[in-house]
Amino acid sequence: MEGSYQTYFEKSPVAVFVVDEDGTYLEVNPAACELVGCSESELLSKNVSDLSTSGESTPPSFQHVRETGRVQTELQIQHSEGHLIDVLLDAVSLGDGTFVGYVRDITDRKEREREVESLKERLELAVDAANLGVWDWDLETDTVQFNDQWATMLGYSASEIDSALDAWKSRVHPADRELVMEAVDAHLAGETAYIDTEHRLQTADGGWKWVRDIGHITERGANGDPKRAVGIHQDIDERKRAEQELEAAHDRLRQVIDLVPDLIFVKNRAGEYLLVNDAVCEAYGRPAEEIIGRTDQELLFTEEHPKAFREDDLAVIESGEPKTIPEEDLVTADGETRVFHTTKIPYEPSGSDDDAVLGYARDITELKAYERQIETQRDNLEVLNQIVRHDIRNDLQLVLAYADLLHDSVEESASGHLHTLQNAAQDAVAITRTARDVTEVLLQSGADRAPTRLRPVLEGAIDSARSNHEHAAIQVEGSIPEVSVLVDDLLESVFRNLLQNAVIHNDQELPEVTVTTTAGKETVAVSIADNGPGVPDEQKAEIFEEGVQGLDSEGTGLGLYLVETLIDRYGGSVQVEDNEPRGAVFTVELPLA
């Protein structure tokens, strides 16, 4: 038997130490020597305190076995190279003052336990930091355990949470419950790798909180039936509410886009529609879902339009610059050809790196028709202007010429009638001149202005007025300054009409007209004063309106309207005031060039 024991002692994989009452090693087997990295002789020269990490002369484990006769414990001992070894010690007293200890190396197991503990600590820290609610479902009892964060997330304390599965189900929003249970059942049946849902849970105050629920089966029975599942609840309430607000904003924007009468669309590089508003749908005669993902080639009713649209789209995408197409035709679903003014700009759809083009097209069909109508009217007005300027005026000049020839041939009793005829013809000539000027204003609304010397223009108008109204006294007070104003060639018509107005609407036997010019730093003012009946206060504000006639006037009312229209074009002003002791003063103010 002694031989068998010795063989076991020598061959045992377990380290065996035999020590005396003082802790001195009496016997050690090869496994013990290998464990601590010493030779047998080295080890037999040591004491248990030499391998202890406590630093005491009598290690606690050795003291305990001396007192009780046996000890089982886990501890660390010193290796000869200085590192520590985790061991499981089973020591007994042999009753004769000696002790035997069986020591197993458990370093690997303890390292794994420490790693698991560290991982557990990190996981708990992560769960706490992320405010994750953890659940643990026992499928055999249908009970669920929750951590404190899960309860706090919903406004409860841990003691208030019922562990029954039905209690958890009752907290799921009714609208989400079916979806959640379908996801759970699919995972339990092995159809999905995880339970992964987003749903609402009722909080302690009766409200609802959005959570993301992720879990999976961690344990199955012998027959494969699930026994345990664990998972987390993540608070996603803020994100879901932000998504809902974004969705609501998107819906509002969509409503606004659909209310816009212009065609609004987005197309990608391949020419496929990514977005269209209701106006596009109406033009194409299709709902949005039949347009999205399709191209103009598939949607339009002609061959040339898709090609032109495609060229414009690619030009914008390639250049990265906006492009405006002043006029382009589109045959709509009802077969009508409409004209559009289209603008296309580079666009990058949200969440995509694909190049695209954003376009908006305004229907200008009616506007173009109106422009053609206006152009026709302008042509007709030009014809009328030619007639007024040439045919009618030439005939009136002929009347005046023959009237002058008859002046010495008619009897004295008829001379009054001849004078009336001459005055009427002269007035008609003046009217044709005013009508000509008004027509030119209408035809040349965009005429360019240029710096023009004021003095020769004003002097020319005064000379013409003196020649046409020899019975009137027209004088210039002071000198006309040498200044330039920014006007066109119709400025003389302004002064001619004001001078004519001062004479022909004068009730005095000798109409007197005085022209005064005053230059300032930025403007020049030309005043034309008369000794006529003046302008009543109630007419001063409206006398320059089209067709408004002066007091007891038989004129057309176009002269002063023409004056106000031209002065407004020049960026100036015109006003009328009372003259002293009687009459009116018309003052034109023009900015200097």
What confidence score (pLDDT) does residue 445 get?
52
Domain residues of the chain, as ranges?
2-111, 130-241, 260-363, 365-445, 448-591
Q: Is 90 exceeded by the pLDDT of residue 451?
A: yes
Query: What string of DSSP letters covers 28-41?
Result: E-HHHHHHHT--HH
- For residue range 535-546, list pLDDT tens digits in order: 888 888 778 775
Domains 260-363 and 448-591 share a fold: no
Q: Please give the pLDDT value at position 148.
A: 85
| Range from 134-143, 488-497, 552-561 carrying the lowest mean pLDDT | 552-561
Is the separation of the CB atoms in 328 and 311 below 8 Å? no
| Residue 549 confidence class, pLDDT cut points 50, 70, 90 | very low
- Residue 480's pLDDT band, with cuts at 50, 70 and 90, is very high
User: Which of 449, 298, 296 has the alpha carbon at shortest distance from 361?
Assistant: 296
- The 10s digit of each residue's pLDDT in 421-450 is 766 666 666 666 666 666 666 556 555 789
Which CA distances in Å does 119 have to 123, 233, 369?
6, 20, 79
Phi, psi of 75 (to 5 degrees): -155, 180
d(CA 563, CA 574): 8
Residue 419: pLDDT over 90: no
Q: What is the CATH number of domain 448-591?
A: 3.30.565.10
Beta bridge partners of 201: 172, 209
Average pLDDT value over all residues in the chain: 84
**What SS3 class is residue 244?**
helix
CA angle 395, 399, 401 (to 5 degrees): 110
- Cα–Cα nearest to 227, from 143, 124, 326: 143
Lowest mean pLDDT among 172-181, 383-392, 492-501, 519-528: 383-392
Mean pLDDT of 79-87: 90
**Element holding 493 (H helix, E strand):** helix 491-504
Residue 133 CB-density burial (10 A; 0-12 exposed, 13-18 middle, 19+ buried): buried
183 CB contacts (<8 Å, ≥6 apart)?
A: 192, 195, 196, 197
- Percentage of residues in the chain having pLDDT higher than 90: 41
Q: Which two tokens stand for residue 2?
A: 């002694």
Q: Are 393 and 425 in contact (CB under 8 A)?
A: no
CATH superfamily placement of domain 260-363: PAS domain (3.30.450.20)
**Selected residue with higher pLDDT from 200 and 371:** 200
Give the model's pLDDT for residue 432. 66
Instruction: Look at residue 547 in the predicted model and tell me its pLDDT.
Output: 47
- Tell me the per-residue pLDDT of 40-69, one tens digit each, with 9 for 90 and over: 999 899 888 888 887 777 788 888 888 888
Check pLDDT > 90 for residue 33.
yes
Architecture of domain 130-241: 2-Layer Sandwich (3.30)
8 A C-beta contact, residue 494 and residue 566: yes
- Cα distances (angstroms) measured from residue 185 to each of 81, 140, 192, 226: 58, 15, 9, 11
As a whole number, mean pLDDT of residues 493-508 equals 88
CATH topology of domain 2-111: Beta-Lactamase (3.30.450)
d(CA 31, CA 530): 138
Confidence of residue 550 (pLDDT cuts 50, 70, 90): very low
Residue 448: predicted pLDDT:
73
Report residue 100 as tokens: 């035997």
Q: Quick one: CA dihedral 152, 157, 158, 162, positive or negative?
A: negative
Closest CA to 35 of 94, 81, 98, 92: 81
Beta-carbon count within 10 A of 393 CB: 18
Mean pLDDT in residue range 409-428:
70
